[in-house]
Amino acid sequence: MSCMNPSYDVIVIGLGTMGAATCAYLARRGARVLGLEQFGIPHAHGSAGGESRVIRLSYFEHPDYVPLLLRAYELWHDLSRETGRTVLYETGGMYLGPADGEFIRGSIGAARQYDLPHEVLENAEIKQRFPQFNVPEACAGIFEPRAGVIIPELAVGAFAESALRHGAELHGHEPVRSWSSENAGIEVTTDRARYVADRLVICGGAWSGRLLRDLGVPLAVTRQTMGWFWPKRPALFEFGRFPVWAFEDGRGGLQYGFPLLQNRPGLKVARHLPAEATTPESVDRTISEKDRWELLDMVDETLPEGTGPLLSASVCLYTNTPDGHFIVDQHPEDERVTLACGFSGHGFKFASVMGEALADLAEHGRTTHPVTFLGLDRFRK
């Protein structure tokens, strides 16, 4: 192991989407940045794989997310313009569920509070407009025209390339073993070297629990599956004709899916929680018969004309906080350390604005973005 000179303003641990975005925004401001990633850049071991991620504005989870999302959209489009890679497609989004359920009620509430474009659809209107769905009689819906798809692998790669082109130093395949607060700076130790910086940002994803044991906040890692099916009638599900969608089916969490996309053949479906607990070290990434049947049941139930052969399936990881909201804050024992973790399966769409906010916190110890509701204090009440 070699000892490196303390030549960095900021070290970022974890170069998934949040970490890569943070490096990019810091580097654009002229900061001397080192990003460390235990896998390749990008990689499919954490939460940022799967070829597609939903982005939406009428956020049922908490209306305070909406201002962050409005800025996130701007920054995603900025990234596309800077890099020449389209990472976000606004396909429209159809949300289904009981009219009095949390999903539909919360989505409509957020849309009205922030005057977001949306249409509330009755059961018959949903069936007429989107005959692809098998809509239960008690089901209502909301259509959001600005919802869409982010291509995660492109997004991570675009942020990483932006960081590099602005002078950041990024190291793949270099796991962090420990970090410590010292008077001279924050010391980070890997298998290769010991680095020192004025500030540290930890974006550890499913590995955050190991890096942040002292926080006392339980982070539950779960194994999530997704599958791609070739539909009986592909024309019904083409990009431009079929939206992204989500369905509160009464079984806990949401079903969700996408139109046919060019980057992988098949109609992608998945479930957002609940799922089996695991660890990033022990997760089983093979697709079992149980996994296959659960995915097939979703398609059969919700998209009858989407049923067909399973083409591929994969596993990703969620890192869940007790209340399902993110942790974005400074370390309670050292304000030079900024934390971003526990994105609970709905964080990817925020990566652009989170990168900007984390860069603010690392540089200035504060941000104008409304992230106080994501602070650690809520777990100490």
- Does 298 share its domain with 368? no
96 and 203: one domain?
no
Helical segments of the chain, H only = 17-28, 65-83, 102-113, 123-129, 152-165, 208-211, 289-302, 351-364
Overall domain count for the chain: 2
Q: What is the pLDDT of residue 10?
A: 99
Question: At 40, which CATH number?
Answer: 3.50.50.60
Domain encompassing residue 311: 89-146+220-320
Buried b / exposed e across 169-205, counting CB within 10 Å, b at 16+? bbbeebebeebeeeeebbbbebeeeebbbbbbbbbbb
pLDDT in single tens digits along all 381 residues of the chain: 555 555 899 999 999 999 999 999 999 999 999 999 999 998 988 887 789 999 999 999 998 999 999 999 999 999 999 999 999 999 999 999 999 999 999 999 999 999 999 999 999 999 999 999 999 999 999 999 999 999 999 999 999 999 999 999 999 999 999 999 988 899 999 999 999 999 999 999 999 988 887 788 889 999 999 999 999 999 999 999 999 999 999 888 899 999 999 989 999 999 998 899 999 999 999 999 999 999 999 999 999 999 999 999 999 999 999 999 999 999 999 999 999 999 999 999 999 999 999 999 999 999 999 999 999 999 986
pLDDT at 270: 97
- pLDDT score, position 272: 93
What is the greatest pairwise CA distance in the chain?
68
Domain end residue (candidates: 276, 305, 320): 320
Are 249 and 297 found together in one domain? yes
Could you please report the per-residue DSSP string of 301-326? HH-GGG---EEEEEEEEEEE-TTS--
Q: What was the pLDDT predicted at 86?
A: 96
**298 & 224 share domain:** yes
- Closest of 232, 221, 354 to residue 304, by C-alpha: 232
Query: 332 preceded by cis ω (within 30°)?
Result: no
Q: Is residue 75 part of a domain?
A: no
pLDDT for 227 equals: 98
Give me the pLDDT at residue 157, please: 96
Residues 275 and 166 both lie in one domain:
no
pLDDT of residue 122: 95
**Do the domain assignments include residue 366?**
yes
Rg of the chain over Cα atoms, rounded to whole angstroms, equals 21
- Residue 339 domain flag: yes
- Indicate if 231 and 313 belong to the same structural domain: yes
Q: Which of 368, 370, 364 is nearest to 31 (CA)?
A: 364
19 is a domain residue = yes
Domain assignment of residue 73, yes or no:
no
Say yes or no: 42 and 157 in one domain.
yes
